[in-house]
């Protein structure tokens, strides 16, 4: 007898993609419920979940939230192919990498909102609802959702600049795990599905993609999560990209530099112009989603 499985998610959420890829990997028949980022919080609480977090699963009435909790629940539901190996030591290594991937998830999310404050196209493209009828509501709520998410995820400019300073080391770690065979081996595991969607999201940044493409991490993301929606225009401040240029050995001012207020003309789904915004996140209420 089959199980009744529902996945609650929204487009542009890397952890939601993690959950969907794991379900597909295990060939678990499921129904995806596409929510709208922001109002999804009320939808999750209204459906009886403990928090507003996505992704979330409902398996025969049992409610599970969070990508790491979902990976374990799926191994119980459908043991083959396993997301975690039987060997205890190897399992611990994969669990540690999976947890590390949650930190990368926070980095990618914060950078999206740093970009969204500078150009609404980033928000409207990455979080574009698959139902066209929902997109006008997204445009209306975009500013408020960006402000609340900035506060909830502490996605301040200071945090974004710090995240980019540490990004080369994070990419080096992914490349090292690939070389070791912990990631991107013949049999994909929970850490693969946790980490790859976040690299795929970073590759959607026009400012960041040139620094990631060509690395093992980029090829890994293309294998595991080849389709990530949306595009983030080149809006990150040039100074933030200096560590990436230095790591690549490029002289200051060469290569992708970010454009600040001067946006390049690029085709995006919403077609709206840039409206730079820099709210003080400390004055906003706490609001979080996704893990």
Q: How far apart are CA 177 and CA 141, in angstroms?
A: 40
Q: What is the mean pLDDT of residues 207-218?
A: 98
pLDDT of residue 285: 34
Domains of the chain: 5-77 (3.40.30.10), 91-280 (no CATH)
Each residue's pLDDT tens digit, 136-182: 999 999 999 999 999 999 999 999 999 999 999 999 999 999 999 99
Average pLDDT, the chain: 88
pLDDT category, 289, cuts 50, 70, 90? low
Each residue's pLDDT tens digit, 221-272: 999 999 999 999 999 999 999 999 998 875 444 444 443 333 333 333 333 3
- Of the two residues 17 and 290, the one the predictor is more confident about is 17
34 beta partners: 9
32 beta partners: 7
Please check the confidence at residue 70 and state whether its pLDDT lies above 70: yes
DSSP conformation letters of the chain? ----EEEEE-TT-HHHHHHHHHHHHTT---EEEEPPTTTHHHHHHHTT-SSS-SSEEEETTEEEESHHHHHHHHHHH--SS-SS-SSHHHHHHHHHHHHHHHHHHHHHHHHHHHHHHH-HHHHHHHT--SSGGGHHHHHHHHHHHHHHHHHHTT--HHHHHHHHHHHHHHHHHHHHHHHHTSSS-SS--HHHHHHHHHHHHHTTBTTTHHHHTTSHHHHHHHHH-------B-S-S-GGGGHHHHHHHTPPTT-S----TT-------SS-PPP------GGGS-------
pLDDT of residue 259: 38
Please check the confidence at residue 193 and state whether its pLDDT lies above 80: yes
pLDDT category, 278, cuts 50, 70, 90? very low
pLDDT category, 1, cuts 50, 70, 90? low
Q: What is the mean pLDDT of residues 191-195?
A: 98
Q: How far apart are CA 238 and CA 106, in angstroms?
A: 22
């Amino acid at each position: 007898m089959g199980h009744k499985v529902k996945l609650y998610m929204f487009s542009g959420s890397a952890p939601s993609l993690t959950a969907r890829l794991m379900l597909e990997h295990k060939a678990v028949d499921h129904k995806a419920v596409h929510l709208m980022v922001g109002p999804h919080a009320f939808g999750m609480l209204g459906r009886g979940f403990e928090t507003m977090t996505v992704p979330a699963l409902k398996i025969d009435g049992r409610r599970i939230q969070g990508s790491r909790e979902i990976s374990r629940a799926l191994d119980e539901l459908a043991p083959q192919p396993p997301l975690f190996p039987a060997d205890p030591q190897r399992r611990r290594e994969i669990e540690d990498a999976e947890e590390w991937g949650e930190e990368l998830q926070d980095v990618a999310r914060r950078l999206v909102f740093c970009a969204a404050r500078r150009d609404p196209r980033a928000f409207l493209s990455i979080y574009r609802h698959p139902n066209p009828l929902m997109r006008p509501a997204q445009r209306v709520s975009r500013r408020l959702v960006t402000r609340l998410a900035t506060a909830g995820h502490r996605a301040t400019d200071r945090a974004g600049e710090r995240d980019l300073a540490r990004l080369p080391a994070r990419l080096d770690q992914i490349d090292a795990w690939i070389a070791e065979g912990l990631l991107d081996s013949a049999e994909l595991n929970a850490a693969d599905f946790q980490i790859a969607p976040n690299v795929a999201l970073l590759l959607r940044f026009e400012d960041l993609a040139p620094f990631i493409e060509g690395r093992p991490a980029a090829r890994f993301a293309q294998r595991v999560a080849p389709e990530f929606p949306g595009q983030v225009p080149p809006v990150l401040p040039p100074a933030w990209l200096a560590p990436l240029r230095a790591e690549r050995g490029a002289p200051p001012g060469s290569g992708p530099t970010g454009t600040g207020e001067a946006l390049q003309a690029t085709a995006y789904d919403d077609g709206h112009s840039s409206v730079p915004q820099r709210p003080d996140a400390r004055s906003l209420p706490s609001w979080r989603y996704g893990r």
